[in-house]
Structure 1
Amino acid sequence: MQTRAFRPDIQGLRGIAVAVVVLDHAFRWPSGGFLGVDVFFVISGFVITAGLLREHGRTGRIRLRAFAARRVRRLAPASLLVILVTTAAAWVLLPTSRFASVAADAVASVLAVQNWRLAAAGTDYFAATAAASPFQHFWSLAVEEQFYLVLPVLLLLLLGRRARRDDRTAGRSARATVVIGGLTVCSLAWAFVAAAVDPASAYFSTATRAWELGVGVLAAIAVHRARSVRPWVAECMVVIGLGTIAASVLLGRESFGMPAPLALVPTLGTALILVAGAGTGAGASSRSSSGPAPTRTAWAAAPLRWRPLVGLGTVSYSLYLWHWPFIVLLPLFTSLPVGIAVVLALLTSIASYATVETAFRHRGLRATLQEHRLRLQVGALAALTVLTLVTVSGTAERLRPLPPVPAAAPAAGDDTDLAADDSFPALQARADAIAAGLGARSWPDDLTPSAEAISAPGYADSLTKTSSWAPTLGCSVIGADWRADSCTWGAAPGTSVMLTGDSTGAFSAPGWRALAEDPDADVQVRNGAQIGCPFSTTALTSDVDTCAAHNAEVLAELERTTPDVLVVTNRFWDKEDPSLEGITRESYESGVKGIIEAARPHVGRVVVVPATPPGYAPTGCVAGTRGPQDCREGDATARAQMRSLTTLLDDVDETTVLDTTPLWCSFGTCPLLIGNVLTRFDPVHVTPEASQASAPALLDLLRKEDILPGVRPSTP
């Protein structure tokens, strides 16, 4: 079965793969959109191997130099253009300190080792807190090129050189199937192990990804050796294949295990479609370049032959290259929605495909430059236009007039005037610092934490494990052997406080520790917050058992120690938060109420201390051309949820929802910069430095609301 018919179904598969990847990167939907890369891997292994087998069947050999030249002509022009344009844009938009890292990523991308660089840096593909490199997506291209350094040589060794009429072809194909199948199984087995032991590195590793390309290789060998699949069998294969891809993309989660076992589902589904289409014409058209085209057309593959989808698949390589730099870099100099970045990337990819990618595919460099001079000039002009727009827009952002600071009149329901009371000087000082932050035009040289720090891969993990904050934050790491006595600050006798909550509570701990270590406060604080575990009876989709066990342990500790004040700090409910997927706002809040009611008999009073109001990802502000005035956020969302919690807990005795907006906002607007300190290191988590700096004002606020000193429980 050695036809070389045009396969629109393969282009359709490519269109689906690139669409879900782009949607996932831009909008965090669908949940398994990242699996589009796995579909690409299988298609790549299938198409490349099919070409090598055709060449071997026709000539009796595989010309390695010719193969390498084809790969370079196919991939290098478009990728080098993207690398050059992205590097130039990064040089314009990024501070020197971060540009050095991006430049190193560019070099790694050219050398096809970006996946190794990301793995060595401990990059978490799914992390929302770190600033992603605009070259991070080159990891998958690196995996493919490393794989294809080995595959042609391996096939040549297994198939050998032969005369055109060699009867031993079947035996050699069987040998290739056994050897490559064995290597594929070994890679898959290692993927299972690595995904459990070191999931961040496993995601980028060639060894844990080779099996996916191997599945495509085996599918191509099967098609090369086998006879046509019965039409009804092929129809079933296509239906099953499309179903498995759709289910994995719509329902898949990284917590299911990547790259194994989760990637098995779309990988095998893709292989089924590829084999079925080759056997019956499920995806072939009558345009055949070698051998007769199949005569039947499978109805099940009809969606894959939809022209817009086939067209998207045709430009899928260029779109994959361009989409990520647009998504990463565009927010650095404009507030346009991410959908605009996707549209611009699509238009650029179409131009890149037409002017660059196709020009070099079948001709050498010199011939291409001569034949396609006008087309390449148009492509160069388009790239120059993109760079010019980036430069002009970035400069305009720097020079545009400063937006006005909010008028000095509180919005309805605003309690910011609490800070004006001279009896609480720390609150007044905090209000002055917030006002200065709202009026700041540029980032200070001594910004804390620095742009480089919060942009580094694994920043949040480093805070809890290796930084100077680890002694404070370390006991909130999920799965740690938590003991309240080892996470206690301040001397007894004092007002005893138990801090609980999820990661937003955990990262507020430096402020509570500073408060406890202030002799004037006379407070002892125990930290029971746990990263990833809201203090709630509502079970999350991940770490259900761990969180339930920890919260039960905290309740037991409350019963044993009967603290004066129980502080609950959970993140605000957000339908876009992947950790709260499938959990409604009502169930989330009722879970908080349920656990508070369970704890209430054992504590003097309960105080719900909301997290810092959510807002912009600071990496997109600090690392780009946007100034502090561009990164201010309103407090409407925070206030709405505080009102909802207040209503919810109104019938629970001695329970208060503390309005913490005076610590972070002024008259409805919250700056990202207070003093020289960033308030958040991601959209929801307070920086340890900001938490610590807020401690004096927090103490004033707690006293203002008569929360400190506390009242001992009436019964022990």
Structure 2
Amino acid sequence: MSTDTVSTAHRRAAGTSAPRRSDIEGLRGVAIMLVVIFHIWVGTVSGGVDAFLFISGFFLIPSLLRAQLGTDPVNNPLPRVWRVLKRLWIPMAATVAVTVLATWFIYPSSRRAETLIDALWSDLFVENWALGLAGDTYADATSLPSPFQHLWSLAVQAQVFIVLIGGLTLAGLALRRAAARGLFSVGAIRPILVTVLVAGTLASFGWATFAGPANQTLNYYNTFSRFWEIALGGLVGLVLTKLAVAPWARQLAGVVGLAMLVATGLVVDGATSFPGPAALLPLGGTVLVFLAGAGGTSVTTRALSARPMVYLGAIAYPLYLWHWPLLMMFLVYRNYHGTPVHHVNLLDGLAIVAVSLLLAALSNFLLKADSPIRRLRARTPVVLTATVAALIVAVQAWLVPVQMASADSIDWRLHPGAAATAGEPTPAGVEFLPQVEASRADLPQTAADGCFNDGQKTADLVICDYGAPREPGRKVLSLIGGSHAEHFLPALDAIGAEHDFTVETVVMAGCSMGSGPAADEAATSDRCRDWQRNAMDHLLTTRPDAVFTNSTRPAAEFGTGDQVPARYIDVFVRLADAGIPVVGVRDLPWLMTPDGEKREPFDCMAVRDDPVACGVQRSLSLSPEDPAVAALGDLPGVSLLDFSDLHCGPDDCPVVVGNVLVYRDAHHFTKTFVLTMKPFIERDLGEALGWFPDRH
């Protein structure tokens, strides 16, 4: 086949480009406004991001195919990749830079390192993987949301664009060369490329539906799981130019489509179901709106084509970039610098929307094609220079290790910790340990040793020995349960080594001990329930000399005080019936508000430096008496320990006691504070077990 014949075939296959539809620009604005509204007032996933991804594919993929089938096909994908990424990156990098500066004054200093690291991932278009692999979600109540958390969708978009532009360009080049050699006709190139797209779309949808939900957090952010939403938009774009819908059908499609898109966040829990089949609701609504303008107009298309709606679509991208950081700055400022709020009221929300719109309009003006900055050719160099500088700082923050004070280096006379409640003087003017930046890393030995099941993959028991080495005839204390049992290990390890008994750890993160029907209902996952059964079988089979585990937890439904869950009672009953002594320790008071919101002490102390204000009222978290006494006290071989008075006064449970930070997060002790509890645990444990004399 001659070159002229190939070019003629290219022209026939390419066709003409679809006209630009202003109603789709308006729909883009609607999609982003839904994201903004649901983030600010509803707190759920709206489906707007899914529609936005779909629309981006609708425009990109047909143009990529035309570029391969035209008279002058594109053979080098790099220029287009650069143009597309620069168009995404410049506004995003500018927003990230301003946000980093704002966080320095508004966010707690304890979050600076991770904020810089999040900025790094955002600037590199990999924020989705950073969030997915870390297990963060918008509903994560135990951590301070990143001001860059919303940029996961931008990262997905950039990654898919790179794959599509590079893949279709190189595939088109290969197919054209094969057609020139006569392996098949040029007319087959388009069907082949479309078939590959369809196969990729189906594979992505299948993964998001069947395989991805095994780790829904990662599935939500996974580029491959999201690929089908963008690719489907492109496939619809290939078909839509050939359709002409009857007038009555256009009217119906537009109204129903908008209703589906708007209702998504109210009827579907996108955080737990997207990007699986549930995402077909907002995407189906988007398709219907597209159909409302196929071959004519409708009420919907005319409304979306109005100048204000088209302008909203034009600033949709910067609006998306700005709204989330502004929302986070407002919430963090109110909760740490002012009067805490749990929800954004109407007026505050409208103010956030207004400022977001103003910043979006300003960004659009400054960064658009005919802006003064672009005419000066200063836009890219300025943003690139600022971003490189920010990346250097972020990498340095990432590489600098957290400064931890080891037990051997601490002057316990300056940091008496729990001993302060027993009359030990607390020197004034001494900074507490660990510092807020290091408190989250002040963990039991099991963390560094890998001696726990992280709860992510299996229900296997991970068993490690501490205290005195295991030997025949040496007593074994089995420390078993979740992280709330685990955080007592630093003291038990030292006590075991000193008094010649082995401390066996059997720990699963996020999974306390439980048994019986109540455990079946309360287990956080099937893996947790299987682990509980394995742990109980282990205790009944190996019969340690004693078991150490939790006896209480906070009251259900965010009530005041603490309780002994039925699944705990079943554990103690089974062990008592088996003749295995059990030491039950009362859980510490959680830093939790009456509506169940956990508060991180390191963030609060970084801003307020008020141990009482950052703590919790004793009556809110602890019942007047240890509830385990009434529930478990009559069981044979059961001893109950309560160390609440070591870190709580009559009215309050402060986060700093004796110049030591009590909490490493909202509901765990720091290793440092547990070490100051060692003499008291030693005294009460010795009395409970009778294994060693009381020397105090």
TM-score computed with the length of structure 1 as normaliser: 0.65
Distance 2:419 2:373 in 1: 70
Residue 649 of structure 2 is matched in structure 1 by 666
Residue 431 of structure 1 is matched in structure 2 by 421
Would the aligned equivalents of 2:486 and 2:507 in 1 still touch at CA under 8 Å? yes
Structure 2: segments with no counterpart, 5+ residues: 1-17, 174-184, 377-415, 592-598
1:536 aligns with 2:514: yes
Residue 569 of structure 2 is matched in structure 1 by 593
1:401-480 alignment, distance < 5 Å: 429-431=419-421, 436=426, 443-444=431-432, 447-448=433-434, 451-452=437-438, 454=440, 464-465=446-447, 467=448, 470=450, 479=458
Equivalent position SS for 1:621 = helix
The alpha-carbon distance between structure 1 residues 139 and 441, as it changes in their structure 2 partners (threshold 3 A), is farther
Distance 2:428 2:212 in 1: 45
Would the aligned equivalents of 2:436 and 2:606 in 1 still touch at CA under 8 Å? no
Residue 359 of structure 1 is matched in structure 2 by 365
Which amino acid is 1:429 matched to? A
Would the aligned equivalents of 2:619 and 2:651 in 1 still touch at CA under 8 Å? yes
Q: 1:510 aligns with which of 490, 509, 520?
A: 490
Deviation at 1:464, TM superposition (A): 4.3
Residue 350 of structure 1 is matched in structure 2 by 354
Deviation at 1:534, TM superposition (A): 2.1
Distance 2:567 2:186 in 1: 66
**Residues 118-146 of structure 1: per-residue CA shift (max 9 Å, x gap):** 67xx5332476666543343232233234
Deviation at 1:263, TM superposition (A): 1.6
The alpha-carbon distance between structure 1 residues 199 and 278, as it changes in their structure 2 partners (threshold 3 A), is closer
Residue 283 of structure 2 is matched in structure 1 by 271
1:610 aligns with 2:617: no
Equivalent position SS for 1:568 = strand
Residue 293 of structure 1 is matched in structure 2 by 297
1:318 aligns with 2:322: yes
The alpha-carbon distance between structure 1 residues 452 and 329, as it changes in their structure 2 partners (threshold 3 A), is farther
**Residues 192-218 of structure 1: per-residue CA shift (max 9 Å, x gap):** 899589987776554554333223323
Structure number with the bigger relative contact order (C-alpha 8 A, sep ≥ 6) is: 1
Would the aligned equivalents of 2:560 and 2:622 in 1 still touch at CA under 8 Å? no
Residue 501 of structure 1 is matched in structure 2 by 481
* Backbone CA RMSD of aligned residues: 5.5
**Residues 478-526 of structure 1: per-residue CA shift (max 9 Å, x gap):** 846437685775778787644333221123233322222232xx66544
Residue 409 of structure 1 is matched in structure 2 by none
The alpha-carbon distance between structure 1 residues 227 and 335, as it changes in their structure 2 partners (threshold 3 A), is same
Q: 1:638 aligns with which of 621, 624, 631?
A: 621
Which amino acid is 2:666 matched to? P
Equivalent position SS for 1:598 = helix
Deviation at 1:248, TM superposition (A): 4.1
**Residues 271-325 of structure 1: per-residue CA shift (max 9 Å, x gap):** 21111122136xx9xxxxxx84235799xx9xxxx9xx99998955532343345
Would the aligned equivalents of 1:502 and 1:529 in 2 still touch at CA under 8 Å? yes
**Residues 164-220 of structure 1: per-residue CA shift (max 9 Å, x gap):** xxxx99987655532322333455567689958998777655455433322332333
Structure 1: segments with no counterpart, 5+ residues: 161-167, 257-261, 285-290, 371-425, 578-582, 712-716
Distance 1:209 1:536 in 2: 38
The alpha-carbon distance between structure 1 residues 41 and 328, as it changes in their structure 2 partners (threshold 3 A), is farther
1:336-347 alignment, distance < 5 Å: 336-340=340-344, 347=351
Would the aligned equivalents of 1:448 and 1:676 in 2 still touch at CA under 8 Å? no
Which amino acid is 2:419 matched to? A
Would the aligned equivalents of 1:223 and 1:279 in 2 still touch at CA under 8 Å? yes
The alpha-carbon distance between structure 1 residues 2 and 268, as it changes in their structure 2 partners (threshold 3 A), is farther
Q: 1:551 aligns with which of 532, 544, 552?
A: 532
Distance 1:46 1:502 in 2: 48
The alpha-carbon distance between structure 1 residues 529 and 242, as it changes in their structure 2 partners (threshold 3 A), is same
Which amino acid is 1:531 matched to? A
Q: 2:102 aligns with which of 89, 100, 104?
A: 89
The alpha-carbon distance between structure 1 residues 45 and 319, as it changes in their structure 2 partners (threshold 3 A), is farther
Equivalent position SS for 1:451 = coil
Would the aligned equivalents of 1:528 and 1:554 in 2 still touch at CA under 8 Å? yes
The alpha-carbon distance between structure 1 residues 16 and 553, as it changes in their structure 2 partners (threshold 3 A), is same
Which amino acid is 1:276 matched to? L
**Residues 606-662 of structure 1: per-residue CA shift (max 9 Å, x gap):** 443122211131342355564545422222233139655544446655656543212
Q: 2:667 aligns with which of 684, 697, 703?
A: 684
1:213 aligns with 2:230: yes
Residue 387 of structure 2 is matched in structure 1 by none
Deviation at 1:530, TM superposition (A): 2.9
Deviation at 1:84, TM superposition (A): 3.4
Would the aligned equivalents of 2:107 and 2:333 in 1 still touch at CA under 8 Å? no
Q: 1:569 aligns with which of 528, 547, 550?
A: 550
Distance 2:609 2:334 in 1: 11
Distance 1:364 1:595 in 2: 71
Residue 109 of structure 1 is matched in structure 2 by 122
Deviation at 1:590, TM superposition (A): 2.0
1:349-388 alignment, distance < 5 Å: 349-354=353-358, 355-360=361-366, 363-366=369-372
The alpha-carbon distance between structure 1 residues 312 and 342, as it changes in their structure 2 partners (threshold 3 A), is farther
Distance 1:235 1:170 in 2: 38
The alpha-carbon distance between structure 1 residues 87 and 317, as it changes in their structure 2 partners (threshold 3 A), is closer
Distance 2:350 2:316 in 1: 12
The alpha-carbon distance between structure 1 residues 518 and 128, as it changes in their structure 2 partners (threshold 3 A), is farther
Q: 2:148 aligns with which of 119, 122, 135?
A: 135
Residue 53 of structure 2 is matched in structure 1 by 41
1:182 aligns with 2:165: no
**Residues 451-492 of structure 1: per-residue CA shift (max 9 Å, x gap):** 15627xxx97x9645x2x545x57999846437685775778
Residue 709 of structure 1 is matched in structure 2 by 690
Distance 1:618 1:111 in 2: 31
The alpha-carbon distance between structure 1 residues 630 and 483, as it changes in their structure 2 partners (threshold 3 A), is closer
Q: 1:696 aligns with which of 676, 679, 688?
A: 679
Would the aligned equivalents of 1:443 and 1:627 in 2 still touch at CA under 8 Å? no
**Residues 28-75 of structure 1: per-residue CA shift (max 9 Å, x gap):** x65xx4976545433443465588899999999999989987986788
Distance 1:293 1:21 in 2: 32
1:179-258 alignment, distance < 5 Å: 179-185=196-202, 187=204, 204=221, 206-228=223-245, 248-249=268-269, 253=272
Matched pairs, number: 598
Residue 397 of structure 2 is matched in structure 1 by none
1:147 aligns with 2:160: yes
Deviation at 1:431, TM superposition (A): 0.9
Equivalent position SS for 2:549 = strand
Would the aligned equivalents of 1:18 and 1:316 in 2 still touch at CA under 8 Å? yes
Distance 2:365 2:162 in 1: 25
Deviation at 1:696, TM superposition (A): 1.4
Equivalent position SS for 2:513 = coil
The alpha-carbon distance between structure 1 residues 707 and 556, as it changes in their structure 2 partners (threshold 3 A), is same
The alpha-carbon distance between structure 1 residues 70 and 441, as it changes in their structure 2 partners (threshold 3 A), is farther
TM-score computed with the length of structure 2 as normaliser: 0.67
